[in-house]
Amino acid sequence: MAKHRILLIRNERTFMVNALVSNLEAAELSVTQVDFHVKEIEEDIKYSELLIVYADDQIRKGHGSLSCLKDICVEHNKRMILVGSRQENDEIMSFLPAHLVLDAVERPFDMAGLVEQVQSVFEGEDEKKKCILLVDDDVAFLQLLKEWLKDKYRIGMARSGMQAITWLAKNNVDLILLDYEMPVTSGPQVFEMLQSESFSKNIPVMFLTGKSDKESIMRVMDLKPAGYLLKNNNKAALLATLDKFFTRKKQG
Average pLDDT (171-199) is 87
**How do strand 80-84 and strand 131-135 relate by DSSP bridges?**
unpaired
Burial (CB count within 10 angstroms: exposed 0-12, middle 13-18, buried 19+), residue 247: exposed
Residue 2's pLDDT band (cuts 50, 70, 90): low
pLDDT, mean over the chain: 85
Average pLDDT (52-69) is 76
Residue 143's pLDDT band (cuts 50, 70, 90): confident
Per-residue confidence (pLDDT) for residue 60, from 0 to 100: 63
At residue 177's C-alpha, the angle toward residues 173 and 181, to 5°, is 145
Residue 203's pLDDT band (cuts 50, 70, 90): very high
* Domains within the chain, CATH numbers bracketed: 5-127 (3.40.50.2300), 129-251 (3.40.50.2300)
Residue 125's pLDDT band (cuts 50, 70, 90): low
pLDDT digits (tens, 9 = 90+) for 227-238: 888 888 899 999
Residue 63's pLDDT band (cuts 50, 70, 90): low
pTM for the model stands at: 0.53
Per-residue confidence (pLDDT) for residue 62, from 0 to 100: 63
Give the residue among 129, 193, 181, 196 at the shortest CA–CA distance from 156.
Answer: 129
CB neighbour burial string for 77-111, b if at least 16 within 10 angstroms, e if fewer: ebebbbbbeeebbebbbeebeeeebbebbeeeeee
Residue 15's pLDDT band (cuts 50, 70, 90): very high
Least confident of 25-29, 39-43, 110-114, 240-244: 39-43
Residue of higher predicted confidence among 20 and 248: 20
Residue 82's pLDDT band (cuts 50, 70, 90): very high
Least confident of 22-31, 67-76, 106-115, 129-138: 67-76
